[in-house]
Structure formats: C-alpha cells, structure tokens
Chains A and B, each alone.
Chain A
Amino acid sequence: DTAVSQTPKYLVTQMGNDKSIKCEQNLGHDTMYWYKQDSKKFLKIMFSYNNKELIINETVPNRFSPKSPDKAHLNLHINSLELGDSAVYFCASSQYGTSGSFGQFFGPGTRLTVL
C-alpha cells in the first residue's frame, strides 16, 4: 500500500492555465505539507496544514492555494501558471509534533512543466 500518493506524476501545461495536484495519505497522520523542489534541486516548504492550522510560507504567491477536504487529503491548486512555477512538487505527511520517532513521509513528487 502506498503511504503518500500524488497525482498526476507529470503535468505539462500552458502559461496562464489553472491546475491542481492531488495528495492522499493513508498513514493516519494529521499534518500534511507541500514542498517545492526547484531546478537546482533545492527543497522549500510551501504550506503545512494540520486540519486546524494552515501555515503559509510568506514567499509563496497567492496563486497557490492548498485545499484539504479531509485529514487524509491536501490538494494544491495553482492559478494563472507562470514559467517559474515549473518544478517538482512533493507532498508529505507526519504526525503533529516531532517529539516521537516519526519523520515525514514523502509522496513520489509531481513534475510540473509550464510552457
């Protein structure tokens, strides 16, 4: 069973379009994240969400919005796509707090290419 899944794996689209990436976890975790990996392979947090609190990285444009229909899902909506949005987007999940031995579990990534 896949712990954290993302769809689609690849997304190619035109500038100006609106697109969504879906993420689901079956680990029973209560906190989910979206990360962006740029062309230089550097990872950066975009959002974290634990069904009560949304923490937004202030550098993320408001064209990006997370939507969580329930605790197991955190989708990423992107409006008016720009060339600079091309990247690999990773979803991850964890249990709230880090005092235990649980790390973060990552999805396989979605490679977004904006033409």
Chain B
Amino acid sequence: KNEVEQSPQNLTAQEGEFITINCSYSVGISALHWLQQHPGGGIVSLFMLSSGKKKHGRLIATINIQEKHSSLHITASHPRDSAVYICAATEGGADGLTFGKGTHLIIQP
C-alpha cells in the first residue's frame, strides 16, 4: 500500500515569492498527480506526470522516480494561488488515487 507524504502542511508567503511543495511516496507508481482544491471545495487536476517535468503557466511540477519524490513550484505567487494543494499517486490501471494530506497555501498581498 502506497503512503504519500506532503510537506509543508501549511505555508504562508508574500505575493511574488517562489513556492515549493514537496511530496514523497513509498512504492513504485505509474503516475503522480498534483491537484488544487479551492476554498469553495472544487478539485482541479493540475498535473499528472510519470517522469521529468511539466510546466503550465506559473506552475511547474517535477518528479524523481528513483528518489520517489515530486515537487510543485509556483513562480511569482499571487493571492489567487491560495488553495490546498494535494499530491496523489496511482499505481496504474483502474486504481484510484492515494492522496497526501494536502498543503494549505496562503499568499498574502
């Protein structure tokens, strides 16, 4: 059974700062997901990656398969980035996601 750990649990930063959220998992996976949950409760998939790096706008996700570690970076952070960011792993096929506990990010103006 996969264990997914995220850090930090809570993060408060000033607008414009570079943000890093870390995720580690315990067993081999087929893909690692980064999700965003806004205060309203909806969940949006940001990235799904199985190797290397992906970029979308100011968001960058990386994964190191050997070290079983992934990071989510936010450049030039903005108050609208305030949300809970959740790392999740899947071992493939029709398996669902195994989630980390989330990182509650607050960006202050």
Residues of A close to B33: CB separation below 8 A: 103-104
A residues near B, CB below 8 A?
Answer: 31, 33, 35, 41-50, 53, 55, 57, 88, 90, 92, 96-99, 101-106, 108-109, 111
Cα distance, A103 to B96, chains bound together (Å): 11
Given contacts A41-B84, A90-B43, A109-B41, contact A98 B96 (CB under 8 A): no
How many B residues face the partner with a CB closer than 8 A?
28
Given contacts A98-B31, A98-B92, A99-B30, contact A45 B98 (CB under 8 A): yes
- Is residue B99 contacting chain A, with contact meaning CB distance below 8 A? yes
Residue of A nearest to B43 (CB): A106
Q: Considering the complex, which residues of chain B in the window 55-109 have a beta carbon less than 8 Å from any beta carbon of chain A? A: 84, 86, 88, 90, 92-99, 101-102
> Which residue of A46, A101, A111 contacts B48 across the interface (Cβ within 8 Å)?
A101
Q: Indicate if the CB atoms of A104 and B93 lie closer than 8 Å.
A: no
Residues of B close to A31: CB separation below 8 A: 94
Cα distance, A31 to B97, chains bound together (Å): 12
Tell me the smallest distance from the CB of B24 to a CB of chain A, in Å: 17
Q: Indicate if the CB atoms of B45 and A103 lie closer than 8 Å.
A: yes
- Is residue B44 contacting chain A, with contact meaning CB distance below 8 A? yes
Cα distance, A73 to B42, chains bound together (Å): 20
Tell me the smallest distance from the CB of B41 to a CB of chain A, in Å: 5
B residues near A, CB below 8 A?
Answer: 30-31, 33, 35, 37, 41-48, 50, 84, 86, 88, 90, 92-99, 101-102
Q: Indicate if the CB atoms of A108 and B98 lie closer than 8 Å.
A: no
Residues of A close to B42: CB separation below 8 A: 106, 108-109
Cα distance, A35 to B44, chains bound together (Å): 14
Q: Indicate if the CB atoms of A50 and B45 lie closer than 8 Å.
A: no
Cα distance, A88 to B42, chains bound together (Å): 11
Given contacts A57-B96, A97-B93, A98-B90, 15 further A-B contacts (CB under 8 A): A33-B96, A41-B37, A42-B99, A42-B101, A43-B86, A46-B96, A47-B96, A49-B94, A53-B94, A55-B96, A102-B48, A103-B33, A103-B46, A103-B47, A108-B41
* Selected A-B contacts with CB under 8 Å, 7 pairs: A42-B101, A43-B86, A43-B97, A97-B93, A101-B48, A103-B45, A103-B46
